[in-house]
Every structure is written in structure tokens, then in C-alpha cells.
Amino acid sequence: MSTTNGPLQGLLVLDLAQFLSGPSAALRLGDLGARVIKVERPGGGDICRTLYLTDTDVGGDSTLFHAINRNKESLAIDLKNADDLAALKALITRADVLIQNFRPGVIERLGLGYEAVKTLNPRLVYAGVSGYGEDGPWVDLPGQDLLAQSLSGVTWLNGHEGEGPVPLGLSIADMLAGHVLTEGILAALVRRGISGEGAQVQTSLLEALIDLQFEVLTTHLNDGRRVPTRAGFRNANAYLAAPYGIYPTRDGYLALAMMPLSQLAHTLPLPALNNYSAADAFTQRDAIKRLIANTLAQHNTAHWLERLRPVDVWCAEVLDWPRLLQSPAFQRLHMLQTVQRGDGTAVHTTSTPVRINGQRAQSARAAPLVGEHSAVIRAEFGL
């Protein structure tokens, strides 16, 4: 399926956002068929263009920018220039969705806050991502992923008991906030189809991370607000009992999910596990995990998979990226694609995780150069 015939075909999205969270929401809408015009500063464009994860540069932009901004057009607009601002406002009257992630108060000072834009286009779905909400004591803090993780409490779920907090090794706050924003935008578009009215959709990095923890936070709120104790050995979840964790084998690593200890006692075999009750799986978690680790280290991962999977022990080999990409299970998903920019720059990247009617949307268009489509867009919309 091409993105040109996706379910959002015919909708126009203006992406005024920078970095990751807002642009990732625009990316999802584009994968679903919407036309996405990225509005950038002339010259430098989105700051994410120079936010490098490694020393790899592809066509003058970071790999991060390419990943987040494929399948978009670029319109160069100077928001401090009166003519450019007027042109943008004219374009807003034709748009279905606007996405922005300016710091709270900035976009209002530019005259593009929700109340002002609503008068231009009452049908517009106006979506915004902030760091920690639009007001309150944290409103002026930088909306950055590691900072949001640190404030959210999520870093205390990782690592081992006795160690300090450990952040997730991904921009999880940005990516989740983008997904949450997309969910809200789609809901507002459905409602607009019924009522004819647009809406304002808001979320923040903090709210996305709180939602990520809804399962464990609900436990915390209902068990006397006790702080969970991470395992001191092979921790994988601060709340779950042994054997839950990742263990070294003779040649790699094996993940074990939740299961009765009696099941492992029989299948490993490890009769010593029969000496522990279900309650012990929590209170003596580290001791039990050490017993299991000593046993698993005696054989290769393949040996354990052949032994444990046929008897429905929930386990999996731990793969790195090269082995994942080579696996038939991954390859059959067809989640990789190569996209190309107008200047010939080719980028290898991922595809949308959504399949509609059995088809995964594909688009050959890479992330744009700054203002690459300005002349065409201005002519099309009479800006």
C-alpha cells in the first residue's frame, strides 16, 4: 500500500514542530496517508537536522532527522517576517491538522496560539506537545527526554537494587508522546467528522511517561504506596517475582518470563526450586535467580530453547540488531525500506508498524532539504 492511498488521504497536516515528539506524530499521520508539510526556519531548519546520534551524516542531515521526517515536504517560513507569517496563516486556513511543540507561551506570542488560529480555521485540529504541561512550577524546564525520564520516576524501575537510577536507552518520552498525540489527533478528526468542529489536543513528555507506568503506578497507589524493591540480581521488573529476568548461557543470553517455580524445577531440571513457595519467589527473589543463573550457564542458548519451548516455558533468546535483522521472523515483516531525496540522497530506514488490510504503507520520499518544496507549495496555495 502506498501512503498516497492511505486512510488519511486528502488531509493536510502542518508540522511546525522540531526535534522528536511533534515531528514523530506528523510522521505517523503521513504514513497513514496524510500530506505533511514541514514548516521550517529558512537556512538552518529544524534543529534536529544537526542533532547527531553518531558521527554519521547523510546528505548534510543527521540520521535522526531522516528517521523522523521522511515522507514530508518542507516549506521555509520566517515566523518573524510579517509576509511569511501571513502566508502561513493563509495556509492554516486550508489545513486539517497543525502540530507544534514550542515552549509554553512562545507560539501565543507569535500570534499562532489555539484561540487565535481557531478564528482562522474552526475545523482545525490543533495539537501540541510540551515538556511538563502548559503551566505549573516545571513549565520553563527544557522538554528533553532524559530530563523528563528523571522527573517521572521511571528511572528507578531499571537497574539493580542498591544502584542508582538507570534511564531507558531510548528517547522513550519523545516517542511515546508522539504516539499519544497521534491518538488524540485521530480521535479529534473522527469527532470533527461528526460535529464539523476542530479541537485542541495536548499532551506532554511527562504525561506520556506517567501513562507508560500506569500498570505499576496503579499497584503503588493501591498497596499502601510502598516503593517497589528492584531485584539485586538480574532485575527486569521491579515488581515481578523470580524467575523474571535475563540470564547468561554458555554462549549468549536467555530471557525467562513469569511462571511457577515448580514448572522450572521440573523442566531445567532444578529440584532445589521445589524448596521455595510462591511467596518466596518475591521475598527470596535474588537467591532463586542465582540458582537459575548457575544452571542456565551450563549449556548453550539453543539447548535451553529446545528443552523449554516444547513444554510451554515462556522464554526467548536475546538478540542484538545484526541477528534480529538476519532472522526470517523479522524479514517476513518487511519493516525496512529505502527512501530517496530529490538530491539523490538515499536513506535506509524503517517503515510504519501499522498494517491496513494486510498492507504496510510505503513511500519512496526521504526527509526534505530545508525549503525544498517552498516554491511549489506557495504556487499551489497562492501564498
* Cα gap 104→253, rounded to integer Å: 45
312 exposure class (CB count in 10 Å sphere: 0-12, 13-18, 19+): exposed
Residue 124 is which amino acid? L
- Helix (H), strand (E) at residue 263: helix 261-267
In sequence order, which residues have a C-beta less than 8 Å from that of residue 121 and are 6 or more positions away? 92, 93, 94, 95, 198
Residue 257 is which amino acid? A
Question: How many CA atoms are closer than 13 Å to the CA of 58, on its beta-carbon side?
Answer: 24
Nearest Cα residue to 167 out of 184, 151, 183, 188: 151
CB atoms within 10 A of CB 63: 18
Q: How far is CA 201 from CA 186, 289, 327, in A?
A: 10, 45, 40
In sequence order, which residues have a C-beta less than 8 Å from that of residue 342 and are 6 or more positions away? 368, 369, 372
Question: How many CA atoms are closer than 13 Å to the CA of 38, on its beta-carbon side?
Answer: 36
In sequence order, which residues have a C-beta less than 8 Å from that of residue 221 and are 6 or more positions away? none
In sequence order, which residues have a C-beta less than 8 Å from that of residue 101 and are 6 or more positions away? 17, 18, 19, 21, 22, 128, 129, 130, 143
CB atoms within 10 A of CB 375: 11
- Helix (H), strand (E) at residue 215: helix 214-222
For the question of residue 174 being annotated catalytic, the response is yes
C-alpha cell at 51: 542533532
Given the residues 55, 83, 174, 223, the one annotated as active site: 174
In sequence order, which residues have a C-beta less than 8 Å from that of residue 225 and are 6 or more positions away? none
* Cα gap 76→126, rounded to integer Å: 20
Q: Which residues are catalytic?
A: 174
